Chain A
Amino acid sequence: MINTLKTQKNTRLPQLHVLTKLAMFLSITVSVFFIASLTPLLLILGLIIGGFYLRNATLGAFKWLIMALLLSAPTTMAIFVISFGVEKGFSQTVITMGAYEGALFLMRIFPLALANILFVKTTDARELQLLFNALKFPSEISLLIATVFRFFPLMSQEALRIIEVQRSRGLKPTSLLRPKKFLPLVIPLLLINIQRSYEMNLSMELRGVYVAQTHVEMRFTKYDILVGVLVFCGLGLIFVA
């Protein structure tokens, strides 16, 4: 029944079960912190970018977040180099070591951000809610988690609108990299989202979503099993290495 009601997503990949996707993205999130070499991190980054391409997912409202990450990359590298230099004395080897650690840090942050964006872009609140219901979570908790996921894209859309408003009052987008200049973005964003979460909560209450329970049997396809095995093997390899 669920499948008959789903929209046909424009994708070059088979639909994965939301649990498989969740396991895959969680394992990426965890594993990037255990990998201490640039090559596997680059490989993971490549796979995620490939995922974006194959799922026809666009960055959309998240492009500013990625831009901010990219623009802050030189500062991050400089911080690593300087901290290594201060701690161990400035030499060619120490500078190279600092630069390598800085690059490693960035290569952990990028896949982490992109993997989570890809998950949010390819999963909807209802799928998550059904998953948590199937896992016998209380409906209040499943709905809370599902709504938090719905909130990420909304927040980034609101942030874009606020940046537009403040730009027309003379705020340079690059100045948002300085924490001192955050206020014109952060305060309206915070207030708008508090208002929105309040309205969403009231709306759910009125629609009786808290009292309704939908339990759906979990069904996995061969692709889910294949991805699951790959994730399991990948994680195993990382921990053994």
Chain B
Amino acid sequence: MRYVRTAPEPVRPAPPRPKRPALRSIVSGGANLLTTAIIVLFAIRAVPHLLSWAVTHGVWNGDGDACRDAGACWAFLRAKMPFILFGIYPEAERWRPILVVLILGAATLWSLPRAHWTRATLGLWGVAIVASLLLMAGGRLGLSPVPTSAWGGLPITMLLTIFSLALGFPLGIVLALARRSDMPVYRWTATALIEVMRAMPLVTLLFVASVMAPLLLPAGVTADNLTRALVAFVLSSSAYIAEVVRGGLQGVPPGQQESARALGLGRSTVLLSIILPQAIRKALAPLTSTVVVIIKNSSLVLVVGLFDLLSAGRVSLNDPAWPTPYAETYLVIALIYFVICYGFARYALHLERTTQGGERRP
């Protein structure tokens, strides 16, 4: 005879909430009807306008003259898309940035599933980054050299994001650990760095980096615009990552540290193999959200004259052969950013859902 339960009680699903049919929520009750009426009225007024601008009177083929006194000038974007995506990179060599975008995109997609989070993937990233830089810069393997000032478009956006993450992540972890350290000098230094970085607008930081670079570097050494911007990005993203990692560290129960120490593990072993892995796993979802912030921030390099996606679009509008279709151009650029950022945002949500409910048991 057994008095002790050996198997856990099976989890029963929550009783279903009474769900109001979608249709009824729109038409039942005065307030709901009113809301529906306002939305429908607005749509009736706005949608035909938009359609006539974008579709009926939109120009899909032709040159600048076809776009004058017409609706949306999509032909402009068809003509300028290579420039917007790849900037002033020499046209004959355009296959190189295309390849870079494909390599980095493929590496990102490959890394998404949990099963691929291995050392091999990390190595793959190393290869992908080296290959991308080699392809962009050239000068080796028979590729003609291209200075960073001629890099542009989507590859700049991708490289800035990846480098901010790859360099900001280790720095962020160090800052987070220092901020939680029991040694006041480390704690104060880290806190001051993080708080100053977080209080500064990125535009100001970029600006500071470009003003200070000639003063900070010893005589004879110069840094190009891309490097200066990258320093500002790495510093600011490391501060954000540090705060996210600190949140993860706070989520690791103190018992973990104590029991690991009680088992006789050394301080650094406890940190590296017990505390940090758990903290980073907890911080994964917010870290992915930080990626979205970094991607969005990368568009700010236009203030220091780098040719990312947005600046390239802005410059392409200066072509006198075309009218200036601001709205269409920025809509398409917004769409590109949206696809990337929304993808990461959904992925963050997915991570949050799958890591919730504690650690996965073997």
Chain A bound to chain B: no
Interface residues of A (CB under 8 A from B): none
Chain B residues within 8 Å of A, Cβ to Cβ:
none
